[in-house]
Structure 1
Amino acid sequence: MQAPRALCRHTIKQFGKRYAHQPAQSTYNDLPQPQGSWQTHHDAAQRRYNAHLVIGIGALIGTIAFGKVAGLLETYSDNPEHPAVIESYK
């Protein structure tokens, strides 16, 4: 009776082992330290963002202008003063 129980315990201990270790505790000394002026990085990022904005607005205006000139875009801004008379509707 004791032998199967001992064998079971031994097997469970073998399969139940965890070989992982606890991670090292991190401290504030492990965090990255700020270096250089934040203003120069901020200005460079803003120049890049503003360039993307200008390119996007230019592409939008160019697309609208091309669509209007090519006749692909109808804005219906030229309303007639009198409705059209269509004989087939009568």
Structure 2
Amino acid sequence: MHIRKLLTTPAIRSCVRRNYSDHYSGHHVAQTTYNDLPQPQGSWKTNYDANQRKYTAHLVLGIGALTGTIIFGKAMGFLEFYHDFPERPADNLSYK
């Protein structure tokens, strides 16, 4: 018990002392203002158009992948849309 206390207490004290001195030393920190924020530069439309081309390409690629998956699934028999229903119901005499 005493050995553990002797080994851990100095380590804990040094960490606490270091953290206290780093964050609460009382030195003055300059107040942040709007002038410290990054300023926009260049044409916003150029960046906007580049992003829109990228997003449109992703959308077209996604729609193409979905369409290809549906066509492949239907051709291989994995998907059944149940749109081929009969013209009129079956006439079953056993239910009457």
TM superposition score category, shorter chain reference: 0.5 to 0.7
Aligned equivalent of 1:35? 41
Relative to structure 1, is the Cα distance of residues 73 and 20 closer, same or farther in structure 2, using a 3 angstrom cutoff? Answer: farther
Q: Is the aligned partner of 1:70 residue 2:76? A: yes
Pairwise CA distance, 1:20: 5.4
Aligned residues: 73
Q: Secondary structure at the match of 1:49?
A: helix
Q: Looking at CA atoms only, which structure, 1 or 2, has the larger radius of gyration?
A: 1
Residues of 2 paired with 1:20 and 1:74: CA distance?
Answer: 72
Greater share of residues in helix: 2
Residues of 2 paired with 1:85 and 1:72: CA distance?
Answer: 30
Relative to structure 1, is the Cα distance of residues 83 and 22 closer, same or farther in structure 2, using a 3 angstrom cutoff? Answer: farther
Consecutive unaligned residues of structure 1, counting only runs of 5 or more, are 1-14
Aligned equivalent of 1:6? none
TM-score, normalization by structure 1:
0.67
TM-score, normalization by structure 2:
0.63
Residues of 1 paired with 2:73 and 2:85: CA distance?
Answer: 19
Pairwise CA distance, 1:23: 3.3
Identity %: 62
Relative to structure 1, is the Cα distance of residues 29 and 79 closer, same or farther in structure 2, using a 3 angstrom cutoff? Answer: same
Pairwise CA distance, 1:28: 2.2
> What is the root-mean-square deviation of aligned Cα atoms in Å?
2.7
Pairwise CA distance, 1:24: 2.0
Residues of 2 paired with 1:20 and 1:71: CA distance?
Answer: 74
Aligned with 1:55 (options 55, 61, 67): 61
